[in-house]
């Protein structure tokens, strides 16, 4: 049983399509991400999955499955049972579904393994507790520390430049939620060794970061709760309307002021995360 009827419908559609295209191929199906972490929002959340097969699945079959799935927000990775017991850093690439299509080769990270082991929701197959799933807290921490620079610092730098795609995205609600909760999630992992949701990360940051950043954290929580912050143009326009509409919902007087705090908090959280890792 999943946390929301929309997830039930997507999972049922996927399993029906997969079983029709290749009976017996998908032996295990697990949900991770917001669905597993208790933070699913039907308007803005993807349904993140791990599909498990006995051996490497045929690419042509996966192409047909995800072509038939269409635009459902169903994103995830195909692994074998053997893959689950190994460090993803040594596995290379595996097929991944993203944005309604199959990506033949996608990178792997330890967050998937740790989320599956500790929080995975079963749609088909044994419970995660009955499986041998690789779990290495030191490797998770090292990957998280690297990711602060490899992905997040680069993104924050782009977001701070007004006329770049991310600079414009961060004028809307989607950019606020993505950056603020994204860096906060990594800080949480480095502080606790655990995985948390976007909402859980922002609440954690409210407890450990100075009051200087509380307004942008509460803004991210507001947007997350309202479930309207999407990357599409209507979502950006709606986010701008938060500042100028009646009633005004944003905690900020202007989107430019808000973006300045988004990037400022991003830099502060990245520095704090590195300090946590260095002190281990």
- Compute the average pLDDT of residues 143-166: 96
Quick check: 22 and 61 in contact, CB under 8 A? yes
> What are φ and ψ of residue 146, in 5° steps?
-65, -40
Does residue 126 carry a pLDDT above 90? yes
**Which whole number is the average pLDDT over 262-268?**
98
**pLDDT(113) > 80:** yes
Q: In the structure, what pLDDT confidence band is assigned to residue 125 with cuts at 50, 70 and 90? A: very high
| b/e 35-71 (16+ beta carbons within 10 angstroms → b) | bbbebbbeebbbbbbbbbbeeebeeeebebbbeebee
What is the rounded distance in angstroms from the CA atom of residue 152 to the CA atom of residue 209? 18
CATH topology for 5-130 is Beta Polymerase; domain 2 (3.30.460)
**Mean pLDDT over residues 5-17, rounded?**
96
| Mean pLDDT value of segment 144-160 | 97
Q: How far, in Å, are 10, 66, 92 from residue 71 at the CA level?
A: 11, 9, 27
The structure's pTM equals: 0.93
Whose CA is closest to 268, among 169, 158, 184?
184
Summarised one tens digit per residue, pLDDT across range 56-69 is 999 999 999 999 98
Would you state the pLDDT for residue 81?
A: 98
Q: Report the C-alpha gap between 61 and 2 in whole angstroms.
A: 26
Residues β-bridged to residue 48 = 32, 75
- Residue extents of the structural domains in the chain: 5-130, 137-278
| Average pLDDT rounded to a whole number, residues 222-236 | 81
Token couple for 175 = 């950019």
């Amino acid at each position: 049983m999943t946390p929301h009827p929309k997830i039930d419908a997507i999972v049922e559609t996927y399993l029906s399509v997969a079983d029709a295209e290749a009976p017996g191929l998908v032996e295990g199906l697990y949900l991770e991400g917001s669905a597993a972490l208790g933070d699913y929002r039907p308007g803005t959340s993807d349904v993140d999955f791990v599909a498990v097969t006995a051996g490497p699945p045929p690419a042509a079959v996966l192409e047909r499955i995800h072509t038939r799935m269409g635009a459902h927000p169903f994103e995830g990775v195909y692994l074998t049972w053997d893959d689950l017991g190994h460090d993803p850093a040594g596995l290379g690439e595996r097929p991944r579904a993203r944005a309604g299509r199959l990506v033949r080769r996608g990178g792997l990270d330890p967050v998937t393994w740790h989320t599956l082991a500790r929080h995975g929701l079963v749609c088909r197959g044994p419970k995660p507790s009955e499986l041998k799933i690789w779990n290495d807290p030191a490797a998770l921490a090292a990957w998280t520390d690297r990711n602060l620079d490899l992905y997040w610092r680069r993104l924050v730098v782009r977001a701070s430049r007004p006329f770049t795609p991310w600079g414009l995205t961060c004028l809307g609600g989607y950019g606020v939620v993505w950056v603020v909760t994204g860096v906060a999630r990594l800080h949480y992992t480095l502080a606790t060794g655990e995985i948390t949701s976007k909402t859980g990360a922002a609440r954690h940051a409210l407890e450990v970061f100075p009051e200087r950043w509380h307004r942008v954290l509460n803004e991210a929580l507001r947007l997350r709760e309202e479930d309207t912050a999407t990357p599409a143009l209507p979502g950006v326009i709606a986010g701008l309307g938060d500042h100028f509409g009646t009633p005004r919902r944003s905690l900020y007087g202007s989107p430019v002021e808000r973006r300045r705090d988004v990037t400022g908090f991003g830099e502060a959280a990245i520095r704090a995360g590195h300090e946590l890792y260095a002190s281990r």
